Structure 1
Amino acid sequence: MPTTTTPLVRNTDDAERRWFYGGGLHSWLVRESDVGDGFLLFEDTVDPGKRTPLHTHPAADEMFYLLDGSMLLHIDGVEHEVRTGGVAVIPRGVPHAFLAQAEGARMLCLHTPGGGEDFYRTASEPAVPGEPAVAVDFDRIQQAAASTGSMTIVGPPPF
């Protein structure tokens, strides 16, 4: 099992930022390479109406902590509303999807153990200040999922 052996301090302003082709801006607070593959932690800022396809992470548990906004979270056939300050934990292999509500959402996303960074890198582009966000491209998401194995799309958005 990977263990973290090197201390790390990183402020949000110093985080690597990437436009995700699934919609949203990722600010990578802790990359797998920073901590010996123990986990991946990023802030995700999404616009109202952003939705994900139904998917699983075969080798990592995923946790969302909602900093602002609200979202509907579909986990294994059951729909939940998560509001500011709420948390959701999705075990590896469990089908899930989310839909950002009218005000959008800003959340911390944790994958443990690490292993998803390759998917997110393949499915994103560096965010350059002053340049617009990339357009949502689910074909690119599907290709990244297939090539990395870090995510499996199991169906369309259930919303």
Structure 2
Amino acid sequence: MARAQYPGDEGAVPFVRRADEGDRFNMFGGLTFVKATGEETAGAYGLIEQRANAGMQTPLHVHHAEDELWVVVDGRLSVHVDGETMDVGPGDVAFGPRGKPHAFRVEEDASRYYIVRNAGGESFFEAVGDPAHDLSLPDPTPTDAQLERLNDVLETYELEILGPPPFEA
């Protein structure tokens, strides 16, 4: 019996991207590292690492074409998916399926987490973020320029902003 073919079977080349390596962007108050691209994984997925302090959060939004998976390494997130808010801590995984409204907020300073997205989704962070020249964490509020770039790429990434973050102050 032949094994099924999966994305990544053809064209992927092994690599190691060390801690603090990868293209870096300041994005919506988080320091983002691109750890693996869809191109590098031959279309299997994209992986980013984010580091942020308490208060960094996303608006309520929906991805119409991609899923999102969060893996918390350090700190704590509140992840809101389809009307339910979950507390996600070290070692925990949360999943936001495509088509489901979601948002997340960083609850502890020095939080670190990975986000797995469909291949190509990692390019969103370069399209909207600002190049990060060092490892310091940015202010947890998105800049006006980031918000403008976000509006410019909503259609490209099949992303819809539904409203403000759904978290209590």
TM-score (norm 1): 0.86
- Measured after TM superposition, the shift of residue 128 of structure 1 is 1.1
Query: 1:119 pairs with 118, 124, 138, which one?
Result: 124
- Measured after TM superposition, the shift of residue 56 of structure 1 is 1.3
Q: CA RMSD in A?
A: 2.3
Q: Which amino acid aligns with 1:116?
A: G
Moved over 6 A (4+): none
- Measured after TM superposition, the shift of residue 144 of structure 1 is 4.1
Closer/same/farther in 2, CA of residues 118 and 29 from structure 1, 3 Å limit: closer
Q: Which amino acid aligns with 1:124?
A: G
- Measured after TM superposition, the shift of residue 130 of structure 1 is 7.5
Between 67-76 and 139-148, the greater mean CA deviation after superposition: 139-148
Closer/same/farther in 2, CA of residues 150 and 2 from structure 1, 3 Å limit: farther
- Sequence identity (%): 30
Runs of 5+ consecutive residues of structure 1 not aligned to the other structure: none
Closer/same/farther in 2, CA of residues 51 and 38 from structure 1, 3 Å limit: same
Runs of 5+ consecutive residues of structure 2 not aligned to the other structure: none
Counting strand residues as a fraction of each chain, which structure ranks higher? 1
Aligned length: 157
Query: 2:157 pairs with 149, 155, 159, which one?
Result: 149
Counting helix residues as a fraction of each chain, which structure ranks higher? 1
Highest Rg: 1 or 2?
2
